[in-house]
Copies of this chain bind each other. A is one copy, B any other.
């Protein structure tokens, strides 16, 4: 299928990501009919009112029956049962993708639960915030962010090309990784920072942090993210996150040794290494227009 032939999509789950996706699709592909599913009536009403989709359904089957592209935008923990439920209703040749933050388990579930007459190819649009819910949906949530798609050997090249094109049109930088590599990398660049922020909040004293400055608040911002969504992410990638935390503890231990030995020179080197590395990162992101100037 070519992107210009796309006429109907279904978004399963109308929270921050699903709602924003509906708004973005409407901005870029105004001709595409957007069908949405949520199990909660209040969410369906809000999603419709905010214009995130054109029609809402309380039945997953009904919401996917006529779609060429089905996008799972609910918490990862719901994917397996949603796939079970939609399997028979998916039309032939339909492409199923998702926006989950881990990719190995969703790919396995798709292999086990979806019929051969449809394709599954995972996506991870790396956008979001610590807010949740359709109230925070924004048409520009995905602009200039990365989207990692994770084709396996079973995915046809033109399907990969189609999905690449879809996210690129939605103003994302698309790259490809295998599900396994995706989960390793994301453990280190996303799940580790999250668990670090969580650990910092939890090891802190409630009264002491009332005096904290902006540094503490920024460092811990992501710890305000919704726990049910993050539980699903973390628990679908435990080994990689465990290894990433171990790597961080090793680095923290290097700092402790320098402190214990009063080795000011090593402390300076460690601080310099971090500043240079982070400033290079910010500069590259500015050059690529991935950050506001």
Cα A3 to Cα B271 with chains together (Å): 40
Which residues does chain B contribute within 8 Å of A40, judged by CB atoms? none
Which residues does chain B contribute within 8 Å of A291, judged by CB atoms? 217
Tell me if A242 and B219 are in contact (CB < 8 A): no
Smallest CB separation, A270 vs chain B (Å): 6
| A278 at the binding interface (Cβ < 8 Å) | yes
Range, interface on chain A: 35 or more
Which residues does chain B contribute within 8 Å of A271, judged by CB atoms? 198, 225, 227, 230-231, 234
| A192 at the binding interface (Cβ < 8 Å) | yes
Smallest CB separation, A206 vs chain B (Å): 7
Tell me if A203 and B248 are in contact (CB < 8 A): yes
Q: Could you say which of B199, B204, B262, B281 contacts A189, with CB atoms under 8 Å apart?
A: B204
Q: Could you say which of B262, B264, B281 contacts A210, with CB atoms under 8 Å apart?
A: B281
| A153 at the binding interface (Cβ < 8 Å) | no
Tell me if A222 and B215 are in contact (CB < 8 A): yes
Interface-facing stretch out of A18-26, A87-95, A154-162, A253-261: A253-261
Cα A247 to Cα B199 with chains together (Å): 10
- Beyond A190-B213, A212-B189, whether A246 also contacts B256 by CB under 8 A is yes
The 4 A-B pairs of least Cβ separation, nearest first, read A227-B271, A198-B274, A203-B251, A238-B259
Known: A145-B213, A203-B247, A219-B220. 16 other contacts (CB 8 A): A127-B213, A188-B205, A190-B212, A198-B255, A199-B251, A202-B274, A204-B277, A209-B281, A210-B281, A215-B222, A218-B221, A219-B219, A219-B221, A235-B267, A241-B259, A249-B252
Binding site for B on A (CB under 8 A): 126-129, 145-146, 148, 175, 185, 188-190, 192-206, 208-228, 230-231, 234-235, 238-239, 241-242, 245-253, 255-256, 259-260, 262, 264, 267-268, 270-275, 277-282, 284-285, 291
